[in-house]
């Protein structure tokens, strides 16, 4: 009798934990075309040469970018700017850069420079990026010095005209003028009465001069980014895409060369040392609540035929929250975040990075003090990737190299499971599933899992009967290292993948189990 009860409870629990997942065999018309460079990077401008290199390339940074290039067929796009963009000035007597940094604090152990003076070689370091990288450079609007912005732009043109940059096929994709102009009235860069219409006037004045230097027009290869606001009013008043469009930013000659509207967005703030909970960050509903409010902005931008990007984004502003932004759980957050962003119309997601920032995917150089509180490390830590980097790897592999991949979020009636199907053309190729339940070091109960059962809808192709299974193995959501993707690690001294690939085979009829804090990639077969 006891054995029968045990069997019954086992079956009952399996049924309770089972989730049915319906997957369309062909992409619906609403499934967007996904760029292989969906995961791209925004780099804090003050220490750019730490990332790229000076007289030779930073091989670690090159390698971790090239990993993504090999998986997706194109390198990630790079935006160089952010807060220090509006503190950068040009001096031809400077070779690379001269920076002045404020004092470190436990909350911000690696602050942005308060003053950056750069020379020609600073921009020429772009040559060390992977071949065929497309780059967006930021110019200083905050200090309202048109001459200096002109000199920066001229030096950028000189760098991209050099044989080293041209020979590598590295392209100046865009120029961004100013960073988070909606905050200028708060940080002293403009009067407290500064409005979006005044931003449009300032931007147009700068862009008119810079377009002549760079050769930017509505038909040129290099175009403008605009916006780059820290937030949005989501209306035609305040700072938003709708506001600056209604105020005529697209009507001027340089405005006709805007190809992209950039929005900055963080899921929370650590600027005052406020706590962040890892499960809150990872929550499926939180991710959707964070991104869905931008739908009207995206609709307005796309109605004008422009791209809409998250030009600077990550978990918690002010470089991330300790024990949250630097953990394995943040990798699951980043993967769901970037894939859901495509579903609301975002073209690319530029994860922001700075030397020593807690939320980095990549730490490009040796660190001598803690990213968590600024204390001196007993032993310096060499360049390394952080857990979120695995989100970039999984996204690149899920999208693939076809250049004709559509992605659709799957409707899954479970608050912890997110899923996305990927189609190469009209062919169902892969699906990725994310279990955002945070399994922490403090958990004493057995690690829970959920069983996924699959069904297929639509016609036009045969339903697959088998798949290969690849897993992101995570010990705990609050681990800061030790992850593996398909049995392999990127936590190596050179940033290249290491270890033997581990995948398993499964039958569609059997479904698949997914543990708390785990990602599963299914590649469908016949």
Residues 395 and 407 placed together within one structural domain of the fold: no
Do the domain assignments include residue 287? yes
Q: Tell me how many domains the chain contains.
A: 2
Q: Which pLDDT does position 268 carry in this prediction?
A: 79
Mean pLDDT computed over 219-225: 96
Residue 275, pLDDT above cutoff 90: no
Give the pLDDT of residue 187: 95
Q: What percent of the chain has pLDDT over 90?
A: 90
For residue 128, pLDDT beyond 90: yes
Q: Is residue 3 included in any domain, yes or no?
A: no
DSSP string, 62-73: HHHHHHHHHHHS
> What is the chain's mean pLDDT, rounded?
94
CATH code, 414: 2.60.40.1180
Q: How confident is the model at residue 14 (pLDDT cuts 50, 70, 90)?
A: very low
Query: Is residue 1 one of the residues assigned to a domain?
Result: no
Tell me which residue of 352, 267, 340 sits closest to 312, measured CA to CA.
352
Q: Please give the average per-residue pLDDT across 44-61, as a whole number.
A: 97
Residues 318 and 234 in one domain: yes
Joined tokens for residue 481: 């290292």
Q: What percent of the chain has pLDDT over 70?
A: 95
| Residues in a beta bridge with 405 | 34, 424
Confidence of residue 270 (pLDDT cuts 50, 70, 90): confident
Q: Is residue 465 assigned to a domain?
A: yes
73 vs 65: CA distance, rounded Å: 12
Query: Is 96 a residue whose pLDDT tops 80?
Result: yes
Beta bridge mates, 375: none
Looking at the structure, tell me whether residues 40 and 164 fall in a common domain.
yes
- For residue 460, the tally of other CB atoms under 10 A from its CB is 9
Is residue 240 domain-shared with residue 365, that is, in the same domain?
yes
> Do 357 and 244 belong together in one domain?
yes
Contact between residue 92 and residue 119 where contact means Cβ atoms under 8 Å apart: yes
Instruction: Indicate if the pLDDT at residue 153 is higher than 70.
Output: yes
pLDDT for residue 79 is more than 60: yes
Span 314-351, pLDDT tens digits: 999 788 888 999 999 999 999 999 999 999 999 999 99
Mean pLDDT throughout 461-483? 95
More confident residue, 9 or 424: 424
Pair 381, 445 in one domain: no
Residue 342 and residue 202 share a domain: yes
Distance CA 214, CA 444 (A): 60
Query: Which CATH number characterizes residue 214's domain?
Result: 3.20.20.80
User: Residue 79: inside a domain, yes or no?
Assistant: yes
Q: Is residue 2 part of a domain?
A: no
| 511 plus 497 within the same structural domain | yes
For residue 272, the model assigns a pLDDT of 57
Pairing of strands 504-507, 466-473: antiparallel
pLDDT reported for residue 320:
83
102: DSSP letter: P
Top pLDDT among 4 and 84 is at 84
Q: Is there a single domain that holds both residue 412 and residue 376?
A: no
Both structure tokens of 282: 């990872």
Give backbone dihedrals phi and psi of 78, rounded to 5 degrees, phi first.
-125, 125
Of the residues 346, 366, 399, which one is the last residue of a structural domain?
399
Of 39, 40, 41, 48, nearest in space to 355 by CA: 48
Query: Would the pLDDT of 208 be above 70?
Result: yes
How big, in percent rounded to 5, are the helix, strand and coil portions of the chain? 30, 30, 40
Residue 427 shares a structural domain with residue 374: no
pLDDT bucket at 10, cuts 50 / 70 / 90: very low
At 277, the pLDDT band (50, 70, 90 cuts) reads confident
- The pLDDT, as a whole number, for residue 410 is 98
In the predicted structure, residue 274 carries a pLDDT above the cut 70: no
* pLDDT mean over 112-126: 97
Per the structure block, which two tokens stand in for 308?
């809409």
- Same domain? For 96 and 211 the reply is yes
Indicate whether 349 belongs to any domain. Answer: yes
Q: What's the whole-number mean pLDDT along residues 85-98?
A: 96
Summarize the confidence of residues 303-317 as an average pLDDT.
95
Q: Are the C-beta atoms of residues 229 and 239 closer than 8 Å to each other? A: yes
The residue segments making up the domain with residue 22 are 18-30+403-524
Of 399, 434, 454, the position where a domain reaches its end is 399
Domain final residue, candidates 360, 384, 399: 399
Residue 455's CB is within 10 A of a number of other CB atoms, namely 10
pLDDT digits (tens, 9 = 90+) for 364-421: 999 999 999 999 999 999 999 999 999 999 999 999 999 999 999 999 999 999 999 9
The pLDDT confidence band at residue 461, using thresholds 50, 70 and 90, is confident
| Mean pLDDT, rounded, for 281-301 | 96
The C-alpha atoms of residue 431 and residue 451 are separated, in whole angstroms, by 15
pLDDT of residue 526: 67
Q: Which of 178-187, 227-236, 437-446, 457-466 has the lowest mean pLDDT?
A: 457-466
pLDDT above 70 (res 190): yes
Cite the beta strand spans of 5-114 per DSSP E: 18-24, 33-34, 39-44, 78-81, 88-90, 97-100
67 belongs to a structural domain: yes
Neighbouring C-beta atoms of residue 411, cutoff 10 Å? 8
**What pLDDT shows up at residue 318?**
82
The C-alpha angle 325, 331, 274, rounded to 5 degrees, equals: 20
Residues 389 and 508 in one domain: no
């Amino acid at each position: 009798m006891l054995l029968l009860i045990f069997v019954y409870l086992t079956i009952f629990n399996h049924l309770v934990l089972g989730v049915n997942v319906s997957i369309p065999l062909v992409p619906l018309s609403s499934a967007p075309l996904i760029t292989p460079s969906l995961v791209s990077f925004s780099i804090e401008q003050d220490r750019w040469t730490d990332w790229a290199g000076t007289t030779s390339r930073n091989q670690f940074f090159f390698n971790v970018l090239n990993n993504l290039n090999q998986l997706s067929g194109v390198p990630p796009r790079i935006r160089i700017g952010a807060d220090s963009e509006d503190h950068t000035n040009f001096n031809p007597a400077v070779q690379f850069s001269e920076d002045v940094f404020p004092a470190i604090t436990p909350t911000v152990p690696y602050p942005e420079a308060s003053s950056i003076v750069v020379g020609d070689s600073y921009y020429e370091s772009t040559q060390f990026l992977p071949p065929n990288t497309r780059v967006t450079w930021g110019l200083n609007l905050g200090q309202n010095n048109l001459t200096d912005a002109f000199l920066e732009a001229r030096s950028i043109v000189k760098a991209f005209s050099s044989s080293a940059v041209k020979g590598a096929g590295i392209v100046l994709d865009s120029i961004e003028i100013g960073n988070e102009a909606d905050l200028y009235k708060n940080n002293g860069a403009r009067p407290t009465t500064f409005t979006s219409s005044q931003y449009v006037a300032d931007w147009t004045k700068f862009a008119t001069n810079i377009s002549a230097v760079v050769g930017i027009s509505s038909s040129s290869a290099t175009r403008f980014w605009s916006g780059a606001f820290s937030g949005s009013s989501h209306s035609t008043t305040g700072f938003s895409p709708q506001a600056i469009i209604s105020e005529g930013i697209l009507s001027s000659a340089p405005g006709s060369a805007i190809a992209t509207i950039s929005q900055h967005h963080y899921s929370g703030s650590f600027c005052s040392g406020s706590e962040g909970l890892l499960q809150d960050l990872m929550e499926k509903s939180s991710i959707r609540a964070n991104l869905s409010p931008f739908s009207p902005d995206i609709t307005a931008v796309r109605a004008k035929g422009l791209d809409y990007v998250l030009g600077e984004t990550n978990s918690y502003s002010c470089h991330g929250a300790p024990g949250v932004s630097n953990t394995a759980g943040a990798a699951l957050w980043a993967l769901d975040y970037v894939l859901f962003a495509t579903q609301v119309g975002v073209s690319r997601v530029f994860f922001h990075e700075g030397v020593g920032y807690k939320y980095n995917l990549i730490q490009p150089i040796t660190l001598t003090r803690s990213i968590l509180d600024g204390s001196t490390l007993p032993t310096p830590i060499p360049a390394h990737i952080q857990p979120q980097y695995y989100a970039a790897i999984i996204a690149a592999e899920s999208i693939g190299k076809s250049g004709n991949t559509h992605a659709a979020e799957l409707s899954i009636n479970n608050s912890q499971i997110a899923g996305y199907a990927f189609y190469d053309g009209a062919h169902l190729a892969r699906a990725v599933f994310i279990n955002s339940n945070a399994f922490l070091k403090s958990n004493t109960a057995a690690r829970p899992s959920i069983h996924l059962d699959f069904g297929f809808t639509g016609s036009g192709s045969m339903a697959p009967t088998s798949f290969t299974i690849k897993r992101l193995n995570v010990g705990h959501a609050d681990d800061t290292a030790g992850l593996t993707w398909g049995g392999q690690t990127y936590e190596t001294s050179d940033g290249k993948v290491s270890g033997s690939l581990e995948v398993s085979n499964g039958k569609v009829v059997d479904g698949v189990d997914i543990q708390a804090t785990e990602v599963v990639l299914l590649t469908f077969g016949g």
